[in-house]
Chains A and B, each alone.
Chain A
Amino acid sequence: MADPFKPRAPFAPWDRRQLPGMFDVEETARRVGNYKWAEMKLFEALGGWIATVPELDVKMRLGTHCYHHAWHAELWHKRLPELREMNPDRLTVPANDAMVEFVAALTEPEAPETTIEKLVGVYRVFIPHFISAYTFHMNNTSEITDAPTIRTLKLALQDEFDDWRDGEMMLQSLIETPEEVDRAAAHHAKLEKLMLAAGGIAGPGSIGNLPAVKGN
């Protein structure tokens, strides 16, 4: 049996976590507040749309996904006080005005014939931007000091990927004609331009800024 009193390294050879991270506490709290605001807008939109879509399978999926995003909002809400923000509402804000404009355009479709537009907004624009912002955050924050945020990001990302897959499959099954392909693409382009103006879920820098390379 191994000697229990033999000194061991505090980090095992397979544990390669690093201390440095890109975000300080304040910047992390700002991003988390933006995430919470965006997740709230998403779960409210999904909930509201349930009554407006005639397709039974879509109706049920929206109900399921509504809860996923509400839960993410709750996780971010609980994280904020741990990041020295004792009034979580103060940081529960959109990244900028363009983000507000994006959400207004996202939630505009209501008619029962616009399920494609509703799903394109959520599953081809909003959720992919959550995935990219969360992935960037997870890969760039301190793996040791900010482990609680990483845990939440991982839990949320699992849902985001699963929901994106559900949504994309629903869309592919709903789009039956070239005209519907055009409709989906037009709405996608409209919303993607608004998201471009917003700079992502947490504003410019949501997925970092690419460093300039010499010679370019």
Chain B
Amino acid sequence: MRKFFPVDSLARDSRFNQITMSQSQADPRSPLMASDTEKRPKANRLQPSRPDASDAARSLMHGIFVGEIQALEGAGRTCHDFETGTEAPFALKLDMARQAWDEARHVEISVKLSEWMGSEIGQYAENTVLFEAACSTDPVLRLAGVNRALEGLAIDVFTTMKDFGGIAGDPYLEFCEDWMLADEVTHVKMGSDWLRRITENDPERRKKALEFQSVVDKIFSFGGTRSDSQESPIGLARRFRELAGFTDAEVEDIADVSLRALEERKEFTRQAQADAVEQFSAS
């Protein structure tokens, strides 16, 4: 078995359809792709009052499900890809094995929740961007990308979903999300602790890892899907991020990056629509 597994080789059964980030962002069903600023809803936050709340929640839950599979695969690969001692400390690999078990449970939970919410495996496409962040050849960058950025996003998503369950009167959903949220806070904290410990005497490596995290954070902001703005379906879970070891300044940075991603996405959409109108007029 080779070291460092490419994202396009992730093994799936016939129900899964994998897509790239750009394909996902170009999906016209996204609320952020509304035809003009006036028609774009001012609040996209996932709440039961949204007319499309059921389908949006099902879609998000399927996204959680495939995200958990990739997180499971990423944690497992970190156990395998690095030599113990010379490339990654033994204790770090033990943490990653623990995380693999946690992610396996999260896959189990999200499969059952998806069924509970009335959707099927493969009903929505699988965006493989999450595993891409787990492909770095430096374990510190991998921890920054996966444990701090990706698992940080999971904190935001689970908080949103837990709140949705609470408001919608679905104790089953709220209960499960609460448990998964506890695990994710642990995973982010693992990432924060290891990042600090391994790069304690290597400021250059730490800087590189934090830059990588920032890039991944921006990608994981999904073009504005997650931010403090009510225009974003997923909010930023500031309190749980603090519990997970993020400093106030780091949370503010993520908030800025997320808002910028939202604005860039809106600008991209405006430009794409203007180009389309121009092309249509010329034809």
Contacts and interface: CB of A to CB of B under 8 A. Distances in A.
A59 B70 CA distance: 11
A67 B78 CA distance: 13
B1 A48 contact: yes
B94 A52 contact: no
Given A59-B69, A60-B72, A49 B1 contact: yes
A44 interface: yes
A21 interface: no
Interface in A28-45: 40, 43-45
B164 to A, nearest CB: 25
A67 B79 CA distance: 10
Nearest to B108: A60
B12 interface: yes
B76 A64 contact: no
B76 A67 contact: no
Q: Which 3 A-B pairs have the closest CB atoms?
A: A48-B80, A47-B79, A63-B104
Contacts of A24: none
The listed residue with most A CB atoms (<10 A of its CB), out of B11, B72, B93, B94, is: B11
Interface residues of B, number: 36
A128 interface: no
Given A63-B76, A89-B85, 13 more contacts: A40-B84, A44-B80, A47-B75, A48-B76, A53-B11, A56-B13, A64-B104, A66-B97, A70-B94, A70-B97, A71-B97, A74-B94, A107-B1
Nearest to A108: B1
Contacts of A101: none
B90 A77 contact: yes
Contacts of B76: 46-51, 62-63, 66
A112 B84 CA distance: 26
A109 B11 CA distance: 14
Contact of A112 (B11, B80, B108): B11
B79 A66 contact: yes
Contact of B72 (A54, A63, A69, A108): A63
Contacts of A62: 76, 104
A49 B100 CA distance: 12
Interface string B77-106: 111110011000010011011101101110
A178 B111 CA distance: 33
A48 B81 contact: yes
A52 B1 contact: yes
A162 interface: no
A52 B5 contact: yes
Interface residues of A, number: 35
A73 B81 CA distance: 18
A69 B96 CA distance: 12
A99 B131 CA distance: 33
A55 B75 CA distance: 18
Contact of B80 (A47, A53, A54, A109): A47
A62 B72 CA distance: 10
B98 A67 contact: yes
A180 interface: no
Given A50-B73, A54-B11, A110 B97 contact: no
B10 A43 contact: no
B107 interface: yes
A62 B73 CA distance: 10
22 contacts: A47-B78, A47-B79, A48-B5, A48-B80, A50-B77, A50-B100, A51-B10, A56-B111, A56-B121, A59-B11, A59-B73, A60-B104, A60-B107, A61-B104, A63-B72, A63-B101, A64-B100, A64-B101, A67-B98, A70-B93, A70-B98, A112-B11
A43 B1 contact: no
The listed residue with most A CB atoms (<10 A of its CB), out of B1, B81, B93, B105, is: B1
Contact of B77 (A47, A71, A110): A47
Contacts of B108: 60
A48 B1 CA distance: 8
Nearest to A55: B13
Given A89-B85, A108-B1, A109-B1, A47 B69 contact: no
B2 interface: yes
Nearest to B85: A89
A46 B78 CA distance: 11
B1 A67 contact: no
Interface string B103-120: 111011001000000000
